[in-house]
Structure 1
């Protein structure tokens, strides 16, 4: 389980981490943030299963952070942590859809039971991670396939190890990273060869990410069984019919 703790008071934050690390289910990974803005930034890469957050923080309060995180689909489970036992806080917490509302200082047994319940409700961690990471990577490739993409480049963008990404591709697509990328590029090239007849084959190759026209032709033939020029002629003949 991936857990994020957000509190603007460093000493309290470290105390929370110590307590929660002690009582959290085995395998729980904990990250921290000192305010709502930092919390949102951490969420973008970490994508926590659950966020425990203070309410009263500068610039953005806990409720505002929750609403923004939900809008951006960064996290869907939240526990409000505050020193205020007031109905208005409870009502606001319920409105933004938090899981629970806990008063400081936290009760170890209470938070242990709550985290264990949440952990049991989560899908297996490996499946959750693979699905989330695969969705982000595949979406990125669909937009940026024209760039000089590589496993190292993707690993830096996604903050994931290249070996993990390679394994992920085999599991989610049945293909290697290179084969999947070539598939996207060749599919786009086929469309352009038909729709952009004024453009040369080498220009289309460059548009889909291949700077070398000979390499483009080689990859194209490997995936389609024909050269780009032959594919264009064949498609033109079909269109005339």
Structure 2
């Protein structure tokens, strides 16, 4: 049963919502009612509800303040706002604190039913994705094994792309922030174990003993940790035979916008034959020179596409493509979406 609290200073509103829920959603149990935010907060602390349906304007503590306080608790409680005020600022604040929906009074049964279906789906996803479940353990294992290999080989571009995909996949499961944080904590612990097998229990790996994950910029937070570990691995391993490859990487990172940049140009810069350099590069990075250059240019293009003042053909030129159709085709092949469509997706976020 999903534990539910109703918060409103109008008894008739609470009674009508309770009847609608009891009529169609047997998995939800009304465990308490409150007349204001303060009373609701006390109920929440004592009963740990799965769902709170609350009004906005109430005495003592209003609905927005209640939502804010519940958000701070990080208990994964879902919030639905029911208000008689069709004011954008209220709705904006409610969404900021992850309210599932903002319904207007008088509440139409069909609207409430649709919202309750969304809440139920989120709660079911939460229950399926718990630390004790096999899917959780399996995903942690698969993701961590892949990350260990990327870190060991210093493939930071692949790490960023892979971790972003992992994060999006987790978000698609409607995981609450506390659950999402715990997943990453478990995954990082497995990555630490995998790296210990390769380099021993070095102090730098303690960076993976994370006790908390920030609310935002989670991917960047984790990548920064990985960067520190990669730097340590590169310094401690025998990198003498790879020194020229590292010089090549720096050269590529500085010259990727040059449309004339190719294997021959880079190998000449570091005084290696193209054939030998190509072999050494793939051995070190795990991908070919052209794959690395393409991925680097596409990642830079994604960043530039966030700047709406730049036209897409200008972005193409800035990352080394004079032929826009070729750029667009390459971008779509890598990300399954065209540059223009990617920009539209960014604007809709």
TM-score by length of 1: 0.48
Query: Using CA pairs below 8 Å that are at least 6 residues apart, which structure has the higher relative contact order?
Result: 1
Q: Which has the larger radius of gyration?
A: 2
TM-score by length of 2: 0.34
